[in-house]
C-alpha cells in the first residue's frame, strides 16, 4: 500500500508524473477549467472540501518552487491569502528552499490554467481562492 498523507489516487498519479516547472492548479468551486486540462473534481458541497484542506494536503506531497495567485485575493479574500502565505512558509521550512510568490490578475491566472497538468476543484465558495503550484526539483 502507498504510504502518504495524500489518498486521492488521481492527484497522486498527477504529481508523480510532474517534472520541473510543470504546474497544477487548486481552485474554488467556480474556477473555470479549460476543456483540454484534466479536472480532478473533489467538490462535494459548499465548503467541502475547503481550499485550504486541499492546498495543505497537496503542498505537503509536492516540491514547489513557485506559486501564482490572483492579485484580487489581496482585497477580496485577505484571510485566505494569509492562510496561503502561512502554508507557503511551512513548506519553505520543510523544503529548505524559498518559494517564489507571484500575484497576477485573475484573468491571467485563469488563462494559465490551460498550461496546467490538472486543475483540482474544491468545494470552496469564497472569492479568488485559487492557486497554481509550479513544481521544483528535489535536488
Please answer whether residues 89 and 96 qualify as being in contact, where contact means their C-beta atoms are separated by less than 8 angstroms.
no
Catalytic-residue membership of 76: no
Give the pLDDT mean for 113-126.
Answer: 98
Catalytic residue among 4, 13, 20, 89: 20
Q: How many CB atoms neighbour CB 9 within 10 A?
A: 9
- pLDDT above 90 (res 10): yes
- pLDDT above 70 (res 1): no
Domain map (residue ranges) of the chain: 20-135
28 is in an annotated binding site: yes
pLDDT digits over 71-109, tens only? 999 999 999 999 999 999 999 999 999 999 999 999 999
Give the pLDDT mean for 36-46.
Answer: 98
- pLDDT above 90 (res 2): no
Q: Residue by residue, what is the 3-state secondary structure of 42-108?
A: CCCECCECCHHHHHHHHHCCCCEEEEEEECCHHHHCHHHHHHHHHHHHHHHHHHCCCCEEEEECHHH
129 is in an annotated binding site: yes
Q: Residue 69: which pLDDT band, with cuts at 50, 70 and 90?
A: very high
106 is in an annotated binding site: yes
Task: Say how far apart CA 81 and CA 83 lie, in whole Å.
Answer: 5
Give the pLDDT mean for 52-75.
Answer: 97
In the CATH scheme, what architecture does the domain 20-135 have? 3-Layer(aba) Sandwich (3.40)
Tell me what the pLDDT averaged over the chain comes to. Answer: 96
Amino acid at each position: 500500500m502507498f504510504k502518504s498523507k495524500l489518498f486521492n489516487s488521481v492527484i497522486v498519479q498527477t504529481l508523480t508524473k510532474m517534472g520541473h516547472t510543470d504546474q497544477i492548479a487548486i481552485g474554488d468551486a467556480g474556477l473555470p477549467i479549460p476543456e483540454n486540462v484534466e479536472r480532478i473534481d473533489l467538490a462535494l458541497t459548499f465548503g467541502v472540501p475547503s481550499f485550504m484542506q486541499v492546498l495543505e494536503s497537496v503542498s505537503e506531497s509536492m516540491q514547489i518552487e513557485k506559486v501564482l495567485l490572483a492579485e484580487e485575493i489581496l482585497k477580496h479574500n485577505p484571510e485566505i491569502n494569509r492562510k496561503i502565505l502561512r502554508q507557503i512558509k511551512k513548506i519553505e521550512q520543510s523544503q529548505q528552499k524559498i518559494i517564489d510568490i507571484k500575484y497576477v490578475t485573475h484573468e491571467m491566472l485563469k488563462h494559465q490554467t490551460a498550461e496546467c497538468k490538472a486543475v483540482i476543484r474544491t468545494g470552496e465558495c469564497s472569492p479568488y481562492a485559487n492557486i497554481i503550484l509550479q513544481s521544483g526539483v528535489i535536488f
